[in-house]
Chain A
Amino acid sequence: MMTCKEVTERASALIDGEVGLWERLQIQLHLAICKGCARFVSQMRVTRMLTETALPPLLPDSTESARIDAILTELRTRPTDG
């Protein structure tokens, strides 16, 4: 029987579908009887989903536009590094 520590260490691989059949069965058996690990794995799924959600912009839109202009200007004025 896997311990809670072992199950949590495999949580990312589990939710990414990267564990083999035998290990998956062992983990599922553990999750069926361990509320703490079931909660942890469920929270890791939520975490994965949230980290895949678009993050807020780092820079204001006007700054982004100004930087795009600056890059294109640099290319026109200094076409090569040399």
Chain B
Amino acid sequence: MPEGRPDETDLVRRLASGERAAFEQVYRQHNASLIRVAAGIVGSRAVAEEMAQDTWVAVLRNISGFEGRSSLAGWIFTILVNRARSRARRDGRMVPLDAGTSDDGLSGAFDGHGHWATPPDLWEEVTPERILAGRDVISHVAAAIDGLPAGQRAVLILRAQEGLDAAEVCAILDLTEGNMRVLLHRARTAVRAALAQLM
């Protein structure tokens, strides 16, 4: 087990023994993220929910073969992404997850010398109290994430929501580390722009 990764041996053993509480814990921890990542790839929330459901069945069927070479979450998301990609191919959807040629949405913000044409407004409303108490802010973040292109959405969810390390995210999504960092930056820039509308 790599240094810094929590020991999941007991949880995996409980899952393999069919303990409902263990499954419920893992399911509730990851299911929303599974649906969000799959929805970006398959382009449909309903199909994404189906993919997540199929993934859980596959996870429980194969948990005894889980060897801990990745984190449990990393293994679960690998199953999901592979299934979602197969489904997207079957449905004739081409969904590249890499950064491609899109920019970070800021190119119009600068003048010809690379200086701000219009500097960002101050976010006066962003106080720790509002962030913690304001479900409206978090709902806005969720909507912004759900509107991201598939690759940006997957990287942001796997890194920020699931806390997976960079190497695992690259392996799951078949990305280079540089590409993954570009996607993460663009995702955050897009979410920042969405928040700026709210502030």
CA distance A53 to B60 in the complex (A): 28
Instruction: Give the shortest distance, in Å, between A44 (CB) and chain B (any CB).
Output: 6
Which listed residue (A4, A9, A47, A74) contacts B115, Cβ 8 A? A4
Q: What's the interface size class on A, roughly?
A: 35 or more
Cβ–Cβ contact B57 & A55, under 8 A: no
* Chain B neighbourhood of A51, CB < 8 A: 141, 145, 156, 160-161, 187-188, 191
Which listed residue (B56, B138, B187) contacts A50, Cβ 8 A? B138
Among the interface residues A46, A51, A52, A59, which one has the most CB atoms of the partner chain B within 10 A?
A51
Cβ–Cβ contact B188 & A47, under 8 A: yes
Is A32 engaged at the interface, CB distance under 8 Å to the other chain?
no
* Chain B neighbourhood of A27, CB < 8 A: none
Given contacts A49-B131, A51-B191, contact A68 B24 (CB under 8 A): yes
* Chain B neighbourhood of A6, CB < 8 A: 114
CA distance A56 to B58 in the complex (A): 26
CA distance A34 to B31 in the complex (A): 42
Which listed residue (A48, A56, A74) contacts B138, Cβ 8 A? A56
* Chain B neighbourhood of A62, CB < 8 A: none
Instruction: Give the shortest distance, in Å, between B21 (CB) and chain A (any CB).
Output: 11
Cβ–Cβ contact B120 & A50, under 8 A: no
Closest to B32 in A: A58
* Chain B neighbourhood of A58, CB < 8 A: 31-32, 35-36
Excluding A6-B114, A58-B32, 9 further A-B contacts by CB distance (< 8 Å) are A3-B110, A3-B115, A4-B110, A8-B104, A8-B106, A12-B185, A67-B27, A72-B60, A80-B61
- Interface on A for B, CB 8 Å cutoff? 3-6, 8-9, 11-13, 18, 34-37, 39-40, 43-44, 46-59, 64, 67-68, 70-72, 74-75, 79-81
